[in-house]
Structure 1
């Protein structure tokens, strides 16, 4: 199947929208760009990211140098939580996305941002997807939450609630905060992969930081063009998983 991505590239994809990562075709400059992105963000996240995320970075060896090879990364991830990483060229349709998550496959972009996009890229590239998302998939409870989200999404298809599910994903997986004994910390991929929002989300006085409430989350609009005006804070990943299980029968 041939598709045209949002970046205007024509790409041959499988029925599930996956492609070969084609790891051998990354250039030396692209690998070096990953390393620079990684080193900068790892330094910023000290004292800001939750320990579960930092543990995932180390366990999955994302600091080994260069863009991770998805096959090798998947072997390490599979051994911990049964998840794997599959390459996609762009965002995938909702039902395809839900199906991947329900089967413990995380779809990650196989391209890396250009040098002129070093500080910000709107499309999710390999750095956002792998650095931002994959470390938390090595945590058993969060890994179960992602699978549960995918299964709930499949069950809810056609019921007119996808906007509510998108808000849940946005305010947890992408922009979630968690209370810890050491203080409030980051776990959402959209924050931990952003140098500016990693600081803003915790330290700026302007946004609302609200204790996680499922109904409120699903009624709260979000921004895609600026820092968030509100962040939702969980007390534990078990709280997040339990709330999600309670939601699905009512969809």
Structure 2
């Protein structure tokens, strides 16, 4: 779990030059025909166990996205087939990359409505433990939400904002917004808390931990609070931030982050498990999972 979270902390970034592809945008052919029977079996194992867990835990929009896309248990999805549907719905496409890509490449893809997805799948002995996000995390976890127009707009705005944050030297603050929404975000639906973050939706253990375990805090999302909050890359999150609806993310997509960067620069940061006096706490966690021993 730790090494997978280490990679997610870069949120699709910074592979370095060692695996640089020939194309400047780091895209490669998915090579769908090269997947083995064992690869498809690994996909099926991961898919089936998440499909049993997610009803009643994933938000309605995630489940609808799964129904609308050619994603099934029997085989690893074909990125061209996924893109055909997405282009007609929200203008997005899925492009294959060899793994983590440099910051500017990642942001440029998002800004142009291209979602970079690893084309490889983990080994059978890595079902809960891998070094970097694979096709299951990227496609099963992320792509269903790209059918939703709000998430589609939000991710494009995030890509544009990432390019700006690089220039301003504020990428760490913006990355926390991505981490606590797109990767590990929770949503308050009319019928209860639901997950929408890909890091949760693609994780067998974190799916239940994030919603059912008494250990983590569940706190109403506040943008400045999130920008100042560190996160765990070695374990489950100590705090999950909860939005009231996807319209809240659409509002974030329209915000000028420049004044916010100026405001939070130099201010104290918060530890992952901190609960602040001004927080709207939906659940005060016991913290037991992260206690030593």
Same fold (TM over 0.5): yes
Q: Which runs of 4+ in 1 moved over 6 A?
A: 5-9
Q: Is residue 179 of structure 1 aligned with residue 180 of structure 2?
A: no
Name which one, 1 or 2, has greater alpha-carbon Rg: 2
Deviations 1:98-154 (A, max 9, x none): 110000000000000001101222310000000000000000111110011111112
Unpaired segments ≥5 residues, structure 1: none
Count of aligned positions: 247
Give the structure-1-normalised TM-score: 0.94
Match runs of 1:21-60 below 5 Å: 21-60=30-69
Aligned-residue offset at 1:204 = 0.9
- 2:149 corresponds to 1:145: no
Which of 189, 198, 211 lines up with 2:220 in the alignment? 211
Q: State yes or no: 1:167 paired with 2:182.
A: no
Contact in 1 for aligned 2:187/2:196 (Cα 8 Å) = yes
Equivalent position of 1:238 in the other structure: 247
Give the counterpart of 1:99 among 91, 96, 108. Answer: 108
Secondary structure of the structure 2 residue equivalent to 1:113: coil
C-alpha distance in structure 2 between counterparts of 1:249 and 1:159, whole Å: 9
User: In 1, are the aligned partners of 2:220 and 2:241 still within 8 Å (CA)?
Assistant: yes
Asked if 1 retains the 8 angstrom alpha-carbon contact of 2:70 and 2:81, the reply is no
**TM-score (structure 2 length as normaliser):** 0.81
Gaps of 5+ in 2: 1-13, 262-293
Matched residue, 1:78: 87
Contact 2:122 2:134 in 1 (8 A): yes
Q: Within 1, Cα distance between the matches of 2:22 and 2:234?
A: 29
